[in-house]
Amino acid sequence: MTTPGEMSEADQIKTFKDFLTQYNKLSELCFNDCVHDFTSRKLRSSEDKCTVNCMEKYLRTNQRVSQRFHEFQMIANENMLALAQKSPN
Amino acid sequence: MAMPQMDPAKLQLVQELEIEMMSDMYNRLVTACHRKCIPLKYHEPELGKGESVCLDRCVAKYLDVHERIGKKLSNMSQGESEDLTKVNIPEKK
């Protein structure tokens, strides 16, 4: 076991992997949603702005979904506990 | 909720699987709700009010559907295995 507050190596690798996966997904999403014009080699300023907004918005989306998700998790856990206490087997 | 009488190694495997499945489900949830609630025009980085409300409802509905399908699936597989063996039904809300 690890000391509290410190991640095991496996956990750290998992976190890093999740980060990279998220990074790739974000690039794909924002590229597909923001970049449509290939008449120029450089990113247009509108494309640049769009991609940055896209990224920030996605992260905020994730944050909000995470909050709601955990609320539902908590309720589900409480229900499960109540159920287990009512009928111990 | 947990399965009774199982050696710790197996239990840990089941728990790891459960966590992995949860995070997969979570990722799909974020992708689905982002696709359904966030318009493709990224004019500003903030979430709009309508977008936020949409996300909240989307999460609730998604989890609702998830639960329903889970119940249906376990009913179906129970029906199939009921004739073969009388297993104790895993209690799940």
Q: Cα separation of A67 and B26, whole Å?
A: 12
Task: Give the 3-state secondary structure of residue A2.
Answer: coil
Whether A88 is in a domain gets the answer no
Domain count, chain B: 1
Whether A18 is in a domain gets the answer yes
Q: Which residue of B has its CA nearest to A55?
A: B45
Whether A48 is in a domain gets the answer yes
Which residues are CB-neighbours of B54 under 8 A, at least 6 positions away? B33, B36, B37
- Going from the C-alpha of B32 to that of each of A70, B4, B18, B48, the distances in angstroms are 17, 35, 21, 18
**Residues of B numbered 52-81 whose beta carbons fall under 8 angstroms of chain A's beta carbons: which are they?**
52, 55-56, 58-60, 63
Measured in angstroms, the CA of A47 and the nearest CA of chain B are apart by 10
Residue A35: which CATH number?
A: 1.10.287.810
**Residue B30 belongs to what domain range?**
10-37+48-81
Whether B91 is in a domain gets the answer no
Whether B77 is in a domain gets the answer yes
pLDDT value, residue A88: 60
Whether this model's ipTM surpasses 0.85 comes out as no
Q: A14-18, A40-44, B1-5, B76-80: lowest mean pLDDT where?
A: B1-5
Q: Which residue of B has its CA nearest to A87?
A: B91
Domain count, chain A: 1
Residue B70: which CATH number?
A: 1.10.287.810
Which residues are CB-neighbours of B31 under 8 A, at least 6 positions away? none
Can you give the pLDDT of all 89 residues of chain A as single tens digits?
A: 445 667 899 889 999 999 999 999 999 999 999 999 999 899 999 999 999 999 999 999 999 999 999 999 999 899 989 999 887 65
Whether A76 is in a domain gets the answer no
Whether A82 is in a domain gets the answer no
**Residue A14 belongs to what domain range?**
9-64
Q: Do A69 and B63 touch (CB under 8 A)?
A: yes
Q: Do A61 and B38 touch (CB under 8 A)?
A: yes
**Buried-exposed string A2-30: b where 16+ CB fall within 10 A, e elsewhere:** eeeeeeeeeeeeeeeeeeeeeeeebeebb
Whether B89 is in a domain gets the answer no
Whether B26 is in a domain gets the answer yes
Whether B33 is in a domain gets the answer yes
DSSP letters spanning B27-89: HHHHHHHHHHHS-S----SSPPHHHHHHHHHHHHHHHHHHHHHHHHHHHHHHHHHHTT--PPP
Which positions in chain A touch B29 (Cβ < 8 Å)?
Answer: 65, 69
DSSP letters spanning A28-64: HHHHHHH----SSSSPPHHHHHHHHHHHHHHHHHHHH
Q: Cα separation of B60 and A61, whole Å?
A: 14
Helices then strands, counting H and E runs in chain A, come out as 2, 0
